[in-house]
Amino acid sequence: MKNSELSTQFALPRTGIGIDADFGDSAVEASAARMRAVEESAVVQSIGETPLVRLRRLEAHWRLPDSIELYLKLEWVNPGGSIKDRTALSIIRAGITDGSLTPGRTLIDATSGNTGIAYAMLGAALGIPVTLVVPESASDERKRTLTAYGAEVIFSDPYEGSDGAIRLVREIAAAGTDRFFYADQYNNPANILAHTRTTGPEIWRQTEGKLTHFVAALGTTGTLMGAGSFLKTRGHVTLVGVQPAEAFHGIEGLKHLPTAIVPGIFNPALPDRIVGIDTENAFAAARALARVEGFFAGSSTGANLAAAAGLVVELARQGEPARIVMIGCDAGSRYLTTGLWDAN
């Protein structure tokens, strides 16, 4: 094959394909056909059913009693590299079903990175144009990944974090209501539904319903709200939400709820406790996970692990048995240019 033929074959598409095609005569037929196209996507079929692993070496490293077990759900195994693949897919499904995500509309949202990457990935796979508002302070790895998938990226004030991105995207979406599908992950019930339908049931099945504690970091809060509410309906499970200890922190994707725009989907009555974790402790826990267990995870996973470490000290002191499940939010490779891996 000639070079010119190769160039043509691998040329990037200029217009949306896949679910943006014209299906059927009626709105109902079109929506059903678009949903079938979503479910037949190879990327969509790769999301979920992630492994749950026991951290036996870390248990030994921390000298935990045999009655306390630590488990990590490896969400970076998802094709977009994080738990946010579930969220983005659920929001897109809901948008198609209720008719708000129609052909030609651009999906727009604020993101600190991972949900944006999931939107961009699904947008590429499904032919949905994607525009994302991202804090300028997001890691270079996240920014480059968004560009690789072909998403349009608008940067917000780096010092305003995710709240600044939220304020800016609201302005943009309000000025272009006919052009945009505003996904609004912080207030969209489909965020919760993603974890009520998938993450929670998977954990319950993988632990045979024998977990005692569920630990999840608080960003949009969808994971804790969704998986946590499901687990609460199945048995007595203590829900632990994890947030940065201070307003100014280095744990990407997490919110310090007392000083941030609180997501509309957050129900403060659901968690049994909310733990504040220092950036340094989150980073140290992520490094320990890499060097003791060989799992290369990000700082939000480190925050979950640090919260669990404090919890097991308390449980061991009281002589209480426990089976603790933590969310492994994303991979450490997204933080190579941050301070996470600088220390020896």
* Cα within 13 Å of Cα(159), Cβ side: 0
Q: Of 31, 82, 90, 300, which residue is the catalytic one?
A: 300
Measured from the Cβ of residue 62, the count of other Cβ atoms closer than 10 Å reads 17
Beta bridge partners, 153, equal 132
Active site residue 232: no
Report how far residue 239's alpha carbon sits from residue 74's, in angstroms, rounded to the nearest whole number. Answer: 19
Q: How far is CA 202 from the centre of its chain?
A: 16
DSSP H or E run through 5: helix 3-9
Report how far residue 147's alpha carbon sits from residue 154's, in angstroms, rounded to the nearest whole number. Answer: 11
Could you give the C-alpha distances from 123 to 46, 110, 146, 192, 284, in angstroms and in order?
15, 15, 11, 21, 35
Active site residue 84: yes
Q: Of 73, 82, 84, 162, which residue is the catalytic one?
A: 84
Report how far residue 280's alpha carbon sits from residue 339's, in angstroms, rounded to the nearest whole number. Answer: 10
Beta bridge partners, 73, equal 52, 327
Report how far residue 55's alpha carbon sits from residue 32's, in angstroms, rounded to the nearest whole number. Answer: 43
Backbone angles phi, psi at 248, to 5 degrees: -95, 115
Three-class SS state of 71: strand
Question: Residue 268 gets which letter from DSSP?
Answer: T
Name the residues annotated as catalytic: 84, 300
